[in-house]
C-alpha cells in the first residue's frame, strides 16, 4: 500500500494508536454498523455476509435517518451529475470512490 500510494503522490495518514477521537466520523460509522448488523450475528458464508451487509448499506444510504443530516438519509442530499435530482438513491459504486456515506460491499 505504501509503495502504491507513493507512486501516485498520495500521502497516507493514520490515526494514532489508542486515539479514536482523531477520526470521529469513521468511529461513529463503525459503531453504527456494529450495533445495527454485526453484533450477535453469525454468517454462514462470506457470500451471505456480503449480501446482508449490502442490504444494510442500501438501507443506511437510502432510508435510515442520519442526525447529522437533519434526520434525512444521505440519498436525500445527493444530486446526480446531469440529473434532475428525482432519483437520488445511492447505488453500489466503485470502492475507490467511496466515502463514509457510500459503502460498497459486493464485488
Residue 5 lies inside a defined structural domain of this protein: no
Residue 70 lies inside a defined structural domain of this protein: yes
Number of domains in the chain: 1
Residue identified by cell 463514509 is 100
Model pTM? 0.52
What is the pLDDT confidence band of residue 75, given thresholds at 50, 70 and 90? Answer: confident
Domain that holds residue 41: 26-79+87-102
Give whole-number Cα distances, 40 to 34, 35, 51, 63, 66, in Å.
Answer: 9, 9, 17, 23, 23
Closest CA to 52 of 94, 102, 107, 105: 105
pLDDT at residue 90 above 70?
no
Identify the top-confidence range among 7-16, 49-58, 94-103. Answer: 49-58
Residue 96 lies inside a defined structural domain of this protein: yes
pLDDT at residue 92 above 70?
no
Residue 20 lies inside a defined structural domain of this protein: no
In the prediction, which pLDDT does 87 show?
Answer: 57
pLDDT at residue 100 above 50?
no
Evaluated on CA atoms 62, 13, 94, 41, the torsion sign reads negative
Residue 91 lies inside a defined structural domain of this protein: yes
Amino acid at each position: 500500500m505504501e509503495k502504491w500510494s507513493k507512486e501516485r503522490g498520495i500521502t497516507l495518514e493514520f490515526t494514532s494508536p489508542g486515539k479514536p477521537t482523531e477520526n470521529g466520523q469513521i468511529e461513529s460509522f463503525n459503531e453504527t454498523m456494529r450495533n445495527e448488523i454485526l453484533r450477535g450475528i453469525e454468517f454462514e458464508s462470506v457470500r451471505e455476509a456480503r449480501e446482508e451487509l449490502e442490504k444494510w448499506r442500501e438501507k443506511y444510504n437510502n432510508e435510515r435517518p442520519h442526525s447529522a443530516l437533519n434526520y434525512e438519509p444521505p440519498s436525500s442530499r445527493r444530486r446526480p451529475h446531469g440529473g434532475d435530482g428525482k432519483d437520488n438513491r445511492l447505488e453500489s459504486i466503485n470502492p475507490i470512490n467511496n466515502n463514509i456515506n457510500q459503502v460498497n460491499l459486493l464485488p
